[in-house]
Amino acid sequence: MASVEERLAALEARVAAIDDERGVLANMYRYAHAIDYGLDGEWIDCFTEDGVFDQRRRPGFDPVEGQRHQGRDALAAFIATHTQAPETYHKHLMVQPRIQVDGDHAATASFFLRLDEDPAGAPYILVFGRYRDSVRRCTDGRWRFEERIVEIEVIQPRP
């Protein structure tokens, strides 16, 4: 049987791992809330200073090319043009996150979809795909995206 010290050390390690995972997840949630409600500064703060937001479309899309934004200035320019409430209501939903923490770095994969409102006020799914993230614990203790890759698998034209 393990000693009290060994059991305490194991418990502390498990709690630290849960805390790290929760910190990564909190940043993922903060991203979605910020992008949907025009909290541009908060959205930008989800990324490291040299962070990357990389939107990619699967092969066969027309157009195939994506958009890559790196650094706070490029991120600010992107988010300034993004739709937001109350002019346009939509929800970025992230589901089934898989998070692997390794020290002060983490890798994540999750599915996403975006619910939008058509001109008649009815909801519909505009796009879905997968997020692949590289995340880092910053000096202030918060986890931020070093790189967020948005793999767009299906998207439909807005009505």
Tell me, what's the pLDDT at 88? 85
Q: Are 31 and 46 in contact (CB under 8 A)?
A: yes
Q: Name the class of domain 4-155.
A: alpha beta
Residue ranges of the domains in the chain?
Answer: 4-155
- Reported in sequence order, the residue ranges of 15-158 that DSSP labels E, i.e. its strands, are 47-57, 67-70, 90-102, 105-117, 123-137, 143-155
Spell out the per-residue pLDDT of the chain, length 159, in tens: 889 999 999 999 999 999 999 999 999 999 999 999 999 999 999 999 999 999 998 776 666 568 899 999 999 999 999 998 888 889 999 999 999 999 999 999 999 999 998 888 899 999 999 999 999 999 999 999 999 999 999 988 776
Closest CA to 23 of 99, 130, 94, 133: 99
Show the tokens assigned to 60.
């066969």
Q: Residues 86, 114, 78, 68: what is their CA dihedral angle, to the nearest 10 degrees?
A: 180
Rounded to two decimals, the pTM is 0.91
Beta bridge partners of 143: 137
